[in-house]
């Protein structure tokens, strides 16, 4: 029995510990069974001589609200004259009047118990988290700008690491210093993740003449080192000066898709506050926001600690009463056990009371209610192109209608009031946060594989679209938050382009429309009617005067195809390890060495000294020849020199034979394993030097223009003069290439398409690519001239390049690898088994040897027969 009690006790302890762990913040008495409590902290040191007066007033407020506004439950009030207190978990809320530092200390203490903190504090104090408490800084009317900037930063309205602060004489040095501190200070709450900014401050001097003022502003803006201090601008100026700065910044191209301009205008009020005068200064691609004074000057504005204390405590009491009433309504319908499960937690109760307080103050607050600032921002990205509509789906009749004067508008982004701080209806810079904000654009394209594969349903309506450019556009549209509708166009390239020096008219019908744009596409881009064209185009100087090219989406190298080199005959394979010169030298050695060996043996005194016979062996020339020849074939001889001089010659020849034989055997194995192919042109230099084949390319391409103007490069000059220009690749040209009579020059990707197509037709590999990629052509997406979104799209294209997506898409749309892919180079390297074709040279040598032997045998027989006949004719004398 005792053994059973121990596990039970451990289980009870575990349950108790887990209850302590998970009920730390929610183990509080219900408002139904126990009165709520509030700690009122009035810092005697902070209020100094006002302490007694404020304390007395607050007690009067508490008595009144408890009597008049608390209809349900009760409220226990604890007063403290200092801030270092122990906040019990059974507290419902804390009300404090102290400085900023102590307020945040109280917040950190109350946060662990999920208490509602309502604070009145110093100006220029960072706000408490908006969902955990209420803070009202007591400010002098007209000096709320630093607090406004601080609240804007705390709300993450702008995500800046640096800022350029421009201001005029409207604000004194102390006010600007407070604004700079508001931007650059650290926040007491680490969870807010608001980082301090590096601030560069520039003052705009006041001048009497408008021309001098404009010159001064222009000098300041042009001297800003934007590369180091950033392109985020906060401008504290008057309305008139704001318009001047906007105009000059626009002329200096300082307002773009990456810069952010935040204008703070203080010389307005609720009667004169209107930013519509700046609409004419807004342009596509701007990021501009305004916060301007909307304060009422009716003279009935009240403020101060007592006023705010009265409103906050009354709103809290009403909110508490409502919370108790709602809990009672639920409690009366369920059991006590169910109530303990579903009753609101401390965090939920704090949130509901705080929301009630804020809503009540918005409706009834009269303290500092005259002070208000409005926030408006420009939602203009894509407005010009969003207004575009196609009036007809017919390709022949399709026209893009657009108003030349687009009406831009400002949207109400929020407001600022002292008791609740910044209340945002939208983001401060909508395009920085949300790109084009789901606008729909009409974009024109046409069929041009592999860049654009376009399918229509018999009309101009696109039923299916894919390809490299379409995939890029889909990815960028997701990142920049816009959608698009594709429209096809005809591929006529009749276009009249004019610049200062030339008037070029081009009329071509080509299949690969990358060099010349269709008329309708170029016209719409030139008139700035579409955001961009979903087409891939060659970057060339012809269009740069009226179009913008993005960074290259692909680099297309030029190459050429020739007939696949034929494998050389292997009948003379046994001679391949050595060159003709080597074989000649070897033959000369066989011819020269025997006489030398024979001569050395004959004149050597060794044999005379030892009385040896000098008529046989290596003293005969024929024996020396066959010995040298046999040693070359690694065969031994019957005779060896006795003298050291002859032996030295033979030993040296043996060393040479070892080197010759081993080298020959090794190279012969390599030549047996790897077949040799016919020598063909590999580079442009070899192509222009040969005369057996002609060469050609498509006319009207960027490559044609390039080699025509490359007079300083001899090989390109010769290439252009000898080239045949074709309107397009056709079967006749390909047949000439297959026969080895012609060379075709084009993009390497186009040549791969041709080789793939011909392989599918014939199932044979008849072509080979050159090893020389001699010129690269940039392919890019085109936008209207001076498009404000060019750099924005370039950044996204760079991101796609770095991620490897564009290269992946290009590979997907290139021809798939087949049997010919590994054989596309000029030199074919294939391992194979040695066959009779490889050994036919050996049998040829054997045949020649037998024939030579037979010929000598016949010669010997003939000589013997001739000699015998001759001897028969001679009469020999008889001698006894």
Question: How far apart are alpha carbons 106 and 375 in whole angstroms?
Answer: 32
Question: How far apart are alpha carbons 825 and 823 in whole angstroms?
Answer: 6
Contacts of 235 (CB under 8 A, 6+ apart): 166, 167, 242, 245, 261, 262, 263, 264
Q: Which residue from 72, 232, 34, 77 is spatially nearest to 152, judged by alpha carbons? A: 232
Q: Which two tokens stand for residue 555?
A: 């680099």
Q: Which residue from 314, 276, 326, 394 is spatially nearest to 68, judged by alpha carbons? A: 314
Question: How far apart are alpha carbons 692 and 860 in whole angstroms?
Answer: 51
* Sign of the alpha-carbon dihedral angle for 41, 109, 186, 348: negative
> C-alpha 422: how far from its chain's center?
36
**317 assigned ligand-binding residue:** no
Q: At what angle do helices 731-738 and 748-762 cross, to 10 degrees?
A: 80
Question: Are the CB atoms for 513 and 740 separated by under 8 Å?
Answer: no
User: What does the DSSP assignment read for 474-527?
Assistant: HHHHHHHTEEEEEEE------EEEE-SS-EEEE----SSTTSS--HHHHHHHHT
For 48, 52, 539, 815, the CA distances from 794, given in Å and listed in that order, are 61, 66, 14, 28
Q: Is 414 helix (H, G, I), strand (E, B) or coil?
A: strand
Q: Is 872 helix (H, G, I), strand (E, B) or coil?
A: helix
Q: Which two tokens stand for residue 405?
A: 């004067």
- Helices in 544-674 by DSSP H: which ranges? 580-603, 606-609, 621-632, 644-673
232-237 and 495-498 beta bridge pairing? unpaired
Q: Which residue from 413, 175, 374 is spatially nearest to 264, judged by alpha carbons? A: 374
DSSP bridge partners of 498 = 503
For 27, 552, 703, 737, 771, the CA distances from 557, given in Å and listed in that order, are 74, 13, 10, 20, 12
Q: Is 801 helix (H, G, I), strand (E, B) or coil?
A: helix
Question: How far apart are alpha carbons 723 and 100 in whole angstroms?
Answer: 83
Question: How far apart are alpha carbons 722 and 669 in whole angstroms?
Answer: 43
Sheet bearing 36-42, strands edge to edge: 75-80, 36-42, 93-97, 116-121, 133-137
Residue 29: Cβ within 10 Å count: 13
Question: Are the CB atoms for 719 and 707 separated by under 8 Å?
Answer: yes
Question: Are the CB atoms for 702 and 745 separated by under 8 Å?
Answer: no
> C-alpha 401: how far from its chain's center?
34
User: What does the DSSP assignment read for 593-618?
Assistant: HHHHHHHHHHH-THHHHTT---SSGG
Q: Which two tokens stand for residue 571?
A: 């009948």
Residue corresponding to tokens 């916060």: 291
User: What does the DSSP assignment read for 84-126?
Assistant: -----TT--EEEEE--HHHHHHHHHHHHTTT-EEEEEE-SS-P
Let me know how many helices (H) and strands (E) the chain has, helices first.
28, 29
- Pick out the residues of the known binding site for L-glutamate: 538
- Pick out the residues of the known binding site: 538
């Amino acid at each position: 029995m005792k053994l059973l009690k121990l596990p039970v006790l451990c289980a009870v302890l575990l349950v108790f510990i887990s209850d302590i762990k998970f009920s730390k913040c929610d183990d509080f008495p219900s408002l139904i069974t126990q009165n709520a409590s509030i700690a009122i902290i009035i810092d005697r040191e902070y209020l100094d001589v006002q302490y007694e007066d404020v304390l007395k007033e607050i007690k009067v407020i508490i008595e009144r609200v408890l009597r008049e506004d608390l209809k349900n439950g009760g409220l226990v009030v604890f007063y403290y004259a200092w801030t270092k207190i122990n906040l019990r978990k059974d507290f419902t809320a804390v009300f404090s009047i102290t400085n900023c530092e102590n307020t945040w200390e109280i917040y950190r203490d109350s946060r662990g118990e999920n208490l509602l903190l309502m604070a009145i504090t110093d100006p220029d104090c960072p706000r408490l988290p908006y969902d955990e408490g209420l803070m009202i800084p007591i400010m002098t009317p007209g000096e709320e700008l630093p607090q406004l900037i601080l609240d804007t930063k705390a709300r993450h309205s702008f995500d800046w690491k640096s800022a350029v602060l421009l201001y005029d004489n409207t604000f004194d040095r102390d006010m600007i210093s407070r604004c700079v501190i508001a931007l650059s200070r650290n926040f007491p709450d680490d969870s807010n993740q608001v980082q301090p900014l590096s601030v560069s401050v520039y003052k705009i001097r006041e001048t009497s003449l408008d021309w001098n003022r404009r010159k001064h502003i222009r000098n300041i803006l042009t001297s800003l080192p934007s590369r180091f201090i950033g392109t985020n601008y906060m401008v504290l100026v008057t309305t008139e000066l704001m318009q001047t700065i906007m105009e000059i910044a626009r002329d200096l191209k300082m307002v773009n898709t990456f810069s952010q301009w935040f204008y703070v205008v203080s010389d307005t009020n609720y009667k004169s506050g209107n930013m519509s005068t700046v609409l004419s200064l807004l342009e596509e691609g701007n990021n501009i926001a305004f916060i301007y004074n909307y304060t009422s000057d009716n003279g009935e504005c009240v403020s101060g600690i007592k006023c705010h204390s009265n409103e906050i405590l009354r709103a809290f009491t009403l909110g508490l009463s409502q919370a108790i009433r709602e809990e009672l309504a639920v409690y009366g319908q369920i059991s006590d056990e169910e109530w303990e499960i579903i009753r609101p937690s401390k965090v939920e109760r704090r949130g509901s009371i705080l929301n009630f307080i804020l809503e009540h103050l918005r409706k009834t607050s009269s303290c500092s209610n005259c002070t208000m600032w409005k926030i408006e921002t420009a939602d203009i990205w894509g407005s010009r192109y969003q207004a575009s509509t196609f009036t007809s789906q017919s390709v022949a009749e399709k026209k893009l209608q657009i108003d030349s004067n687009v009406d831009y508008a400002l949207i109400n982004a929020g407001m600022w009031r002292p008791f609740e701080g910044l209340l945002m209806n939208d983001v401060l810079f909508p395009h920085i946060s949300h790109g084009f904000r789901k606008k729909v654009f009409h974009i024109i394209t046409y069929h041009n594989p592999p860049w654009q594969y376009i399918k229509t349903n018999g009309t101009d309506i696109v039923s299916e679209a894919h390809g490299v450019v379409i995939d890029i556009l889909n990815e960028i549209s997701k990142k920049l938050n816009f959608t698009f509708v594709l429209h096809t166009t005809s591929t006529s390239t009749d276009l009249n382009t004019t610049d200062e020096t030339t008037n070029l008219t081009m009329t071509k019908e080509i299949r690969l429309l990358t060099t010349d744009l269709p008329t309708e596409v170029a016209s719409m881009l030139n008139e700035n009617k579409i955001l961009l064209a979903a087409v891939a185009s060659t970057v060339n100087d012809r269009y740069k005067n009226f179009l913008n090219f993005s960074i290259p989406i692909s680099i297309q190298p030029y190459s050429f195809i020739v007939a696949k080199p034929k494998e050389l005959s292997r009948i003379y394979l046994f001679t391949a390890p050595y060159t003709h010169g080597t074989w000649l030298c070897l033959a000369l050695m066989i011819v020269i060495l025997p006489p030398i060996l024979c001569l050395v043996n004959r004149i050597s005194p060794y044999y005379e000294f030892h009385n040896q016979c000098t008529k046989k062996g290596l003293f005969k020339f024929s024996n020396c020849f066959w010995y040298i020849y046999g040693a070359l074939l690694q065969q031994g001889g019957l005779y060896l020199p006795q003298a050291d001089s002859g032996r030295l010659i033979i030993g040296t020849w043996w060393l040479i034979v070892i080197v010759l034989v081993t080298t020959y055997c090794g190279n012969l194995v390599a030549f047996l394993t790897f077949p040799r192919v016919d020598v063909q042109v590999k580079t442009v230099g070899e192509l222009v030097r040969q005369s057996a084949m002609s060469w050609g390319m498509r006319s009207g391409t960027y490559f044609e223009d390039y080699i025509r103007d490359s007079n300083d490069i001899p090989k390109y000059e010769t290439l252009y003069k000898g080239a045949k220009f074709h309107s397009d690749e056709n079967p006749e040209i390909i047949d000439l290439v297959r026969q080895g009579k012609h060379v075709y020059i084009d993009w390497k990707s186009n040549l791969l398409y041709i080789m793939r197509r011909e392989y599918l037709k014939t199932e044979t590999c008849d072509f080979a690519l050159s090893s020389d990629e001699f010129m690269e052509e940039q392919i890019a997406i085109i936008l209207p001239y001076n498009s404000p979104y060019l750099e924005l799209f370039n950044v996204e294209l760079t991101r796609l390049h770095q991620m490897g997506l564009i290269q992946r898409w290009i590979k997907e749309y290139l021809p798939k690898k087949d049997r010919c892919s590994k054989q596309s180079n000029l030199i074919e390297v294939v391992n194979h088994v040695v066959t009779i074709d490889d050994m036919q040279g050996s049998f040829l040598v054997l045949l020649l040897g037998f024939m030579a032997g037979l010929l000598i045998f016949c010669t010997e027989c003939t000589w013997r027969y001739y000699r015998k006949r001759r001897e028969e004719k001679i009469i020999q004398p008889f001698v006894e």
